Amino acid sequence: MHLSDRVTGLFLVVLGALAFWGGSLLPAVPGQDVGPAAFPMVIGGGLVLCGALIALGIGRSFEAPEAADDAPPPGLAARIGGWAAFLPPALLIFYVLVSERLGFLPTAALMLLATARALGASWRLAAGVALLAPLAVHLAFAKLLRVPLPDGVLPAPW
């Protein structure tokens, strides 16, 4: 996900402008000049300024050049490139969406299997991790720390 400075800078300008505008709409506290609007407006203004400077390429001379990574990437990234990086956050969302219905153990096992395989693990290693780690985590968090992890279709044996 390497974007040009122009893109990230413009994004910050837009975000800052929205923050400034959104802040200015907030209701004031009666009888006081300074209220909830002041801070977002100051920050919004700062973001617009910084974003504009970044888009114009000012200050780039301070940046260390990025180290080139020439070794071949593992597993999933070899097939779909940089998008593979977005698998972990997608799996977290998956966890939120299905863990309540499916239960902690199966959801966690699926997450681990997918991540391990994407990182280039063999099926044997990935399956081992997916079977054992959820049980260990469940033991630590649900049994010892009493975090209410959802049972779903497959309650834990304890």
Q: Given the complex with other proteins, which of 68 and 157 has the nearer CB atom? A: 68
Other beta carbons within 10 angstroms of residue 102's beta carbon come to 20
**Site membership for other proteins, residue 153 (CB under 8 A):** no
List binders of other proteins among 40-79 (CB under 8 A).
Answer: 40, 42-44, 46-47, 50-51, 53-54, 58-64, 66, 69, 71-77
Contact flags string 18-37 toward other proteins, x per CB under 8 A: -x--xx--xxxx--xxxxxx
List binders of other proteins among 105-144 (CB under 8 A).
Answer: 108, 111-112, 115-116, 118-121, 125-126, 128-130, 133-134, 137, 141
User: Tokens in use for 130?
Assistant: 């997916």
Q: What is the C-alpha separation between 120 and 74, in angstroms, rounded?
A: 5
Total residues interacting with other proteins, rule: CB under 8 A: 88
Residue with tokens 């956050």: 89
Q: What is the C-alpha separation between 49 and 67, in angstroms, rounded?
A: 29
Q: Given the complex with other proteins, which of 22 and 155 has the nearer CB atom? A: 22
Residue with tokens 């070794």: 71
* Least distance from other proteins to the Cβ atom of residue 157, Å: 18
Q: Given the complex with other proteins, which of 82 and 153 has the nearer CB atom? A: 82
Instruction: Identify whether the C-beta of residue 29 lies closer than 8 Å to the C-beta of residue 35.
Output: yes
